[in-house]
Amino acid sequence: MMSTAIFYHAGCPVCLGAEQMLANAIDSKKYTIENVHLGTHAKRIKEAEEAGVKSVPALVLDGEVFHINFGAAIADLKN
């Protein structure tokens, strides 16, 4: 049975590229990967909350929540 990887985010423009890099690193042979933008798909917020998501970006692997702090260095914002 395929495992499921759901990547919840909110479309942060600074972080999105890096976040997708993480999502793309997931093995698609093992995982069905879904990207959910909670800003534009607010009706899925409840599902995310019920899975235990406290902040975004978060990766949920078979129901296990990983909160990701990629963050953005202030220095990067100045570039």
**Region of 6-14, 28-36, 39-47 interacting with a second copy (CB under 8 A):** 28-36
Q: Is 36 within 8 Å of 6 (Cβ atoms)?
A: yes
As given in the structure block, the two tokens for residue 40 are 């534009």
Sheet holding 31-37, edge to edge: 31-37, 3-9, 58-61
Count of residues in contact with a second copy, rule CB under 8 A: 23
Told to check if 69 binds a second copy by CB under 8 A, we report yes
> Which residue's CB is nearer to a second copy, number 30 or number 41?
30
| Interatomic CA distance for residues 42 and 11, integer angstroms | 12
Told to check if 66 binds a second copy by CB under 8 A, we report yes
Q: How many CB atoms lie within 10 A of CB 53?
A: 21
The least CB distance from residue 44 to a second copy, in Å, is 21
Task: List interacting residues with a second copy (CB under 8 A).
Answer: 3, 5, 18, 21-22, 25-31, 59, 61-62, 64-71
